[in-house]
A and B are shown apart, each in its own frame.
Chain A
């Protein structure tokens, strides 16, 4: 046991004071009575009825001494070190992930976790340093090495549960680095996802209630003929079979309802046909209460696919033409360097080996093997540049893309662009946005490279088109909560904003390039609104609950990151125990007894 304010024991000096007061008080005043006969009888009777009479005579004094002793010890802030860690450093991790919204623990898992965390903090040694971490889609240090209880309590109370699926690897990395920095740190995790990290002492307060849950895992659509077909995947994560009423809403109106019977753990696919092509939003809803409501909805956005107009100005580049012809939803126009005057109204201009004197004012640009120009500086040529590996998004979906370049233009990277493919001698491919116009520059003639002969070339071209033509915003039609989005905006857009499901609008541009949109915490249907000179463009996208990852309330607790196999066995973190509150309650009890004894004259 440790006393954190031992000086308060000086308060014990009041004990002799109480005794002295009693001694003074015991001086009796003389009072003459006619006879002691009856008094003697009464006193005898009292003593006969209470063997502890002698003690009782001074019961009030004993109680008052007890009260003083209890108060003195309470003021000295005693703390019982039952297994409290010696370092005194704690990390409190509160799970803020999606399934903490489940109500299988009253009032819900998240509130229960907060309550437990608050209790944990209250019982910590007064000088313990606490780091508070919220563990959701990412792990965030909310408060670092703080001994200010009130601040920590305030911080915990202000935490909000998120819609993101838990990212245990992120949390494990964070805890590992904390443990490295502060050896002996004990981690208390309050949530529904167990986390095991080798070398880190983690106590897990499992707030899982193993409640029944049904979820819409997926809703997607396809255009078949003139109508849309929708597909939903419905899961029963309950412990018993259930027949679930599942409805489909189109633009907010009920389109159809079906009953889906599912065994425990079963996932079933439901189809709807003949959905009008004009539908912009689809919502699938399980109309049955369960422990987690948020995943009973799933949205899907239907955006009309705009056919992109691509102008290819080239002398003889069959490779590009071939690659483009493989792609749907674009209309390819061709011209030659000599016939390229007055080009406009295309979504993308590809100039191969030359640039017109006057560049078109609209659409994106792809410049292959650029001559000297006003956009960036071309400074001679380089022979067989040594290429570096690229991780740029234009190379996504490509596992092995090794190629060589015989001769490339030596280009100076302009400040509006980022390198896509670098070489020892300078950038070979770069991309960027100049005044809301996206530009990709390939600094070499495709005929001087074996790149076009690789199977990955059409994929790269597809990535290039996806990036350059904003109508192809395929990647944002389904987004997980908390996911950041870089929108591919229309080059003509003057003002861009996002309207959330709750109707809040957030401007993301100007200035251009548009800021990364980070407000996807809410589940539901979002609208990307782009105001252009030709009118306003609306693009719908959905943010759905991470049902596939996080909706199985029964299994969630068993999740653990990859290195769990080698993790140390679980144990509870001892916090020790503050005795102050108990002593104060005892003091109040003694006070009440004293009052009772005094008023009943025992």
Chain B
């Protein structure tokens, strides 16, 4: 058992269920509600009888009341592909507490819950390309693989989410895509969202930030060095600079929220200091 995923953490996971707005269209039978009407026990809708329909499904009570033939439609439950994209650029390996811990724990928790729900889980590590991919794991027994995969993630290089996403080999099948990133990749988010939507994904965006990114605690003249590129800026940490940073940060968040709202993306913002169950609860409640 690693430090990253201790027993206490795993115990908590079993309590949580992920909910998705997307109802999957096809795939193997699973535990998730599908838009296809099928043979499950869960009633979905009525429609008028048409020639060729299975008359075992005719609702005779309705016929007695309206003297018309109605067919009872039932929800078909199917398994859903859950794609978890983790931003593994160097910027994610920063902060106190470190964002990499929070992002991997969140990814692990989501993977576990999905596996427990008989979903098919794929993990993708993205930096400027899809660094590592762990495709299509099924069943709780695959969780060991998930942990193994996550523990060996390397955080390096700059971020190019769109390119990385494109090179990930994501299949164009209905599914859930969860992106865990700090989104410090200007202008790419819309492309990423569009790409995922094109790939018929129900998109969940888990925006992870370190507390120091939300509220920088600097109070002197500093050379700010970019952890990804090594580029730097000399600044004197005046209250006005901090004020302006907060303003920029707020507009950064609002622009993300706006885009997410526009494209129907479920956006959640987490601080790396949040406990993972709190993050999961937010995801489940959404």
Chain A residues in contact with chain B, CB under 8 A?
25-43, 45-46, 57, 600-602
Contact = CB atoms under 8 A, between A and B. Distances in A.
A38 B226 contact: no
B223 A31 contact: yes
B167 interface: no
B97 interface: no
Interface in B227-286: 227-229, 231-236, 238-245, 247-249, 252
Give the interface SS of chain B, mostly helix, strand, loop or mixed. Answer: mixed
Nearest to B229: A36
A88 to B, nearest CB: 51
Contacts of A31: 218, 222-225
Nearest to B236: A57
A582 B149 CA distance: 75
B257 to A, nearest CB: 16
B245 A42 contact: yes
Contacts of A30: 222-223, 225, 232
Given A38-B252, A46-B240, A33 B226 contact: yes
B213 interface: yes
Contacts of B95: 34
A40 B182 CA distance: 16
Given A28-B221, A602-B240, A34 B245 contact: no
Given A34-B227, A38-B213, 19 more contacts: A29-B223, A30-B232, A31-B218, A31-B222, A32-B224, A33-B227, A34-B213, A35-B182, A35-B228, A36-B231, A38-B245, A41-B248, A42-B245, A42-B247, A43-B244, A45-B244, A45-B247, A600-B239, A600-B240
A39 B245 contact: yes
A73 to B, nearest CB: 30
21 contacts: A29-B220, A29-B222, A31-B222, A32-B224, A32-B225, A32-B227, A33-B226, A34-B94, A34-B95, A34-B227, A36-B229, A37-B184, A37-B185, A37-B186, A41-B248, A42-B245, A42-B248, A43-B233, A46-B241, A601-B238, A601-B240
Interface of B: 91-92, 94-95, 99, 182, 184-186, 210, 213, 218, 220-229, 231-236, 238-245, 247-249, 252
B188 to A, nearest CB: 11
A42 B239 CA distance: 12
Contact of A35 (B226, B239, B241, B248): B226
B221 A29 contact: yes
A20 B35 CA distance: 73
Given A35-B228, A39-B233, A25 B249 contact: no
A26 B91 contact: no
B182 A27 contact: no
B218 to A, nearest CB: 7
Contacts of A29: 220-223
A33 B224 contact: yes
B94 A32 contact: yes
A34 B91 contact: yes
The 7 A-B residue pairs whose C-beta atoms are closest, nearest first, are A601-B239, A35-B184, A28-B223, A34-B94, A601-B238, A34-B91, A42-B245
Contacts of A34: 91-92, 94-95, 99, 182, 184, 210, 213, 227-228
Task: Find the residue from A30, A33, A601 having the highest chain B CB count within 10 A.
Answer: A33
Contact of B224 (A25, A39, A601): A39
Nearest to B251: A41
Given A29-B221, A30-B223, A34-B213, A40 B233 contact: yes
Contacts of B235: 28, 39, 43
A29 B242 CA distance: 17
Contacts of A25: 221
A27 B234 CA distance: 9
A35 B223 contact: no
Contacts of A39: 224, 233, 235, 245
A42 B236 CA distance: 12
Contacts of A43: 233, 235, 241, 244
Nearest to B184: A35
A47 to B, nearest CB: 10
Nearest to A27: B221
Contacts of B243: 601
Contacts of A36: 224, 226, 229, 231-233
Contacts of A602: 238, 240
A40 B232 CA distance: 10
A40 B241 CA distance: 11
A42 to B, nearest CB: 4
Nearest to A40: B233
A39 B227 CA distance: 13
Nearest to A598: B238
Contacts of B242: 601
A32 B224 CA distance: 6
B248 A45 contact: yes
A353 B125 CA distance: 152
Contacts of B227: 32-35
B135 to A, nearest CB: 29
A57 to B, nearest CB: 7
A379 B236 CA distance: 112
Contacts of B182: 34-35
Contacts of A46: 240-241, 244
A597 to B, nearest CB: 10
A32 to B, nearest CB: 5
Contacts of B221: 25-29
A41 B91 CA distance: 17
A48 to B, nearest CB: 10
Contacts of B220: 29
A38 B249 contact: yes
A36 B232 CA distance: 8
Nearest to A44: B248
B215 to A, nearest CB: 12
A602 B245 CA distance: 14
A218 B262 CA distance: 105
A340 to B, nearest CB: 115
B184 to A, nearest CB: 4
Nearest to B234: A28
A46 to B, nearest CB: 5
Contacts of B232: 30, 36
Nearest to B182: A34
